[in-house]
A = this chain, B = another copy of it.
Amino acid sequence: MSKTIGVIIDFLTDDYRRQIDAAAEKHGYTTRYYPDSASAVGNADDCEILYGHCSRKVISSAKSLKWFCCCWAGVDQFCDGALYHNPGCLLSNSSGAYGVTIAEHLVMTSLMLLRRQPEYTEVIRNGEWRVLKGGIHSLYGCRVTVLGAGDIGTEFARRVKPFHPAKITGVRRSARPGDGAFDEMHTTAELDEILRETDLLVMALPNTPDTANILDARRMALLPEGAYVINVGRGTAVDQDALIAALGSGHLAGAALDVVVPEPLPADHPLRGAKNLLLTPHVAGNMTLPYTQQKSVSMFLEDLDRFVRGEPLAHAVDRSRGY
């Protein structure tokens, strides 16, 4: 039985297929493209490698699987070792493919909140043409904190720098020197103190037990009155009821959520009625940007070279850590 790479990506184009086929052939693999996960279940027994948006069912049914390269960044649903036939099966993700698109979302929503753009949208929608009382705010002089200073947070910080914020502070689980994108870098142990001096809190965290509910009512209260919160990553990081209350009382001036619990968000969910809350339907990242697609394919093919040579994968996920 020939060695097979199974591919399940909904953004497949002739170009991506050519790139994947050429690399596979070079390494003695054949390729098989599945239109979706459902059609792969039970039909992927010979796949040594799977790449793409695979369901848990596909993974657990693939008896020869040695490596699953997920084209999402968040892989918490694939970290359970019991999912895999082969306990040594490798897992990698596409963290690094999303930095560009999510950083753009973060800059856009930061400016939309600070400049009261959702309110101006309503002014125009109502057929009016007027300046809102109370003025607007700016990234200039703003104290920006990035909770989750990984690829996404760093790409955001690099883009915010020329707006002259007062300070960009990165916060990560484990201490690591910054790369110049941040003015300061701290660990989550110091988070409470940092929140007290944060005008704009940007959260880009993976979904792990440590990050669940990390922004709860107590921490929201530490933020100065009039602060803003933006969350990408995973909705579980924010206490949504506390957020609705903090927006309603005016303690927070605004928030933007691209990720929520549950998704899809029901039409009658209380979040939809929250004051000054900018919702987007989990599109900050996603595969909507061609750059992200190409980057994910390229990262897979780079790791394929390493896999074949028996080297560690550059985008390997530590299943015990969850990212």
Contacts and interface: CB of A to CB of B under 8 A. Distances in A.
Interface of A: 100-101, 104-105, 107-108, 111-112, 114-115, 117-118, 120-121, 123-124, 127-132, 135-141, 158-159, 161-164, 263-265, 267-268, 272, 279-283, 286, 288-291
Contacts of A131: 281-283, 286, 288
A114 B137 CA distance: 23
Given A112-B112, A159-B163, A162-B158, A138 B289 contact: yes
B138 A100 contact: yes
Given A112-B117, A115-B283, 11 more contacts: A100-B138, A108-B115, A118-B121, A120-B280, A120-B281, A124-B280, A127-B272, A129-B265, A132-B283, A135-B289, A136-B288
Contacts of A137: 289
Nearest to A268: B127
Given A104-B115, A107-B111, A128-B267, A281 B159 contact: no
A111 B256 CA distance: 15
11 contacts: A100-B138, A104-B139, A127-B268, A127-B272, A128-B267, A132-B288, A135-B289, A136-B288, A136-B289, A138-B289, A158-B162
